A and B are shown apart, each in its own frame.
Chain A
Amino acid sequence: MSRQTSRLDAKKVNSELLTLTYGALVSQMLKEIENPDDVNKQLERIGYNMGVRLIEDFLARTSSGRCLEMRETADKIQQAFRLYLNMQPTVTSWSNAGDEFSLVWDQCPLSEWVEMNNSSLKYCALIPGAIKGALQMVQLDVQCWFVQDQLKGDAVTELRVKYIKRLEDAVPAGED
């Protein structure tokens, strides 16, 4: 055999395949669901479902404990970005009450090779969905939305995360 060793980098190929698969999914959705706002909703729901499962992997891998404060949560989210997407978003723009912050990044594997015309589509809507889903599993209800988006011509992409409330464990029915 002439080709003993593979010249392909498995990690890189997988990452590219993820990017391209996601792109194919988004374009397929746009074909089926004509309204971009509905596509955003679908993408966010997909992200939510992924986040719900991803948090288990995250907790198992990082063995991190419970977050008592939003600042800790922000750190963990940053760590998750590093772990899963190999990104380094910066955490900035804290609100005075400390319940709202921004994640800012200028490069995201998901939106590599993507160009968009001006539509209301939020290409990366998967990410806020995933954050919301993951945090819900650790009893945090948050709101996530894009403030700036590179695909829309902004210099960076900015995702705003706002703490809403702490979810309480519900008492099982029939027990007091």
Chain B
Amino acid sequence: MADDILFELLHSEIINYALDQSKSNDDAAKKEVDLSNVEYIGFAAGYKVMERLTREWPRFKDELDTMKFICTDFWTCIYKKQIDNLRTNHQGVYVLQDNSFRFLTSFSNGQQYLEYAPRYVAYTCGLIRGGLANLSLNSVVTAEVQAMPSCKFHIHVQRT
């Protein structure tokens, strides 16, 4: 079983790699960093890991039950703590708030690195989206960082 630090280093190297790729693809749009790769890698990993995690799990009662699983068990395994706050409008929008998000805790708490925060949450957005997709919930996941190291994930479940 691999150590946690490897995952953290790999995560930051994935971001580096995506930055390199987007730089070489298109020099003009330097300011807009393309994070879709990072998100996609998260999606693929989330999709597969969810399959393994829920193998011996009783069926979830409903959507809210699934979200609770994400907030408690899933989050504890990966981010070492539970989600601090879960809100929903009962119409498919969920807001998960983590007050000290693992990938952001090593940054300064000030405003200095706030502009880089999106890079460090893209993978997790994909991870959540992939996990939900495997539980047959199509969703759009976005993240919002207002002050380091706290982070809000907005999950919008798509119903058609």
Contact = CB atoms under 8 A, between A and B. Distances in A.
B73 A54 contact: no
A66 interface: no
Contact of B57 (A7, A24, A27): A7
30 contacts: A3-B72, A3-B73, A6-B73, A7-B73, A8-B76, A8-B77, A9-B77, A11-B1, A13-B49, A13-B53, A13-B77, A14-B77, A15-B1, A17-B45, A21-B41, A24-B45, A25-B10, A25-B14, A28-B41, A32-B37, A42-B17, A46-B10, A46-B13, A46-B16, A49-B9, A53-B9, A54-B9, A84-B6, A85-B3, A86-B3
A92 to B, nearest CB: 24
A15 to B, nearest CB: 4
Given A18-B6, A18-B7, A46-B17, 14 more contacts: A3-B72, A7-B56, A8-B76, A12-B1, A17-B78, A20-B45, A21-B45, A24-B43, A24-B44, A25-B17, A49-B16, A86-B2, A109-B1, A109-B2
Interface in B1-44: 1-7, 9-11, 13-14, 16-17, 21, 37, 40-44
Interface residues of A, number: 38
Nearest 4 A/B pairs, CB to CB = A24-B44, A13-B77, A15-B1, A21-B45
A17 B56 contact: no
B74 to A, nearest CB: 8
A57 interface: yes
Interface string B66-83: 000000111011101000
A150 interface: no
B54 to A, nearest CB: 10
A68 B40 CA distance: 45
Task: Choose among B1, B4, B16 the residue with the greatest number of A CB atoms under 10 Å from its CB.
Answer: B1
A171 interface: no
Interface in A6-60: 6-25, 27-29, 32, 42, 46, 49-50, 53-54, 57
B83 to A, nearest CB: 14
A83 B3 CA distance: 7
Given A21-B7, A25-B41, A42-B17, A14 B2 contact: yes
Contacts of A83: 3
Interface of B: 1-7, 9-11, 13-14, 16-17, 21, 37, 40-45, 48-49, 52-53, 56-57, 72-74, 76-78, 80
B7, B9, B48, B49 pick with most chain A CB within 10 angstroms: B9
A159 B12 CA distance: 26
Nearest to B43: A24
Contacts of A22: 10
Contacts of B57: 7
Contacts of B78: 13-14, 17
Nearest to A54: B9
A140 B18 CA distance: 30
A49 B14 CA distance: 11
Nearest to A53: B9
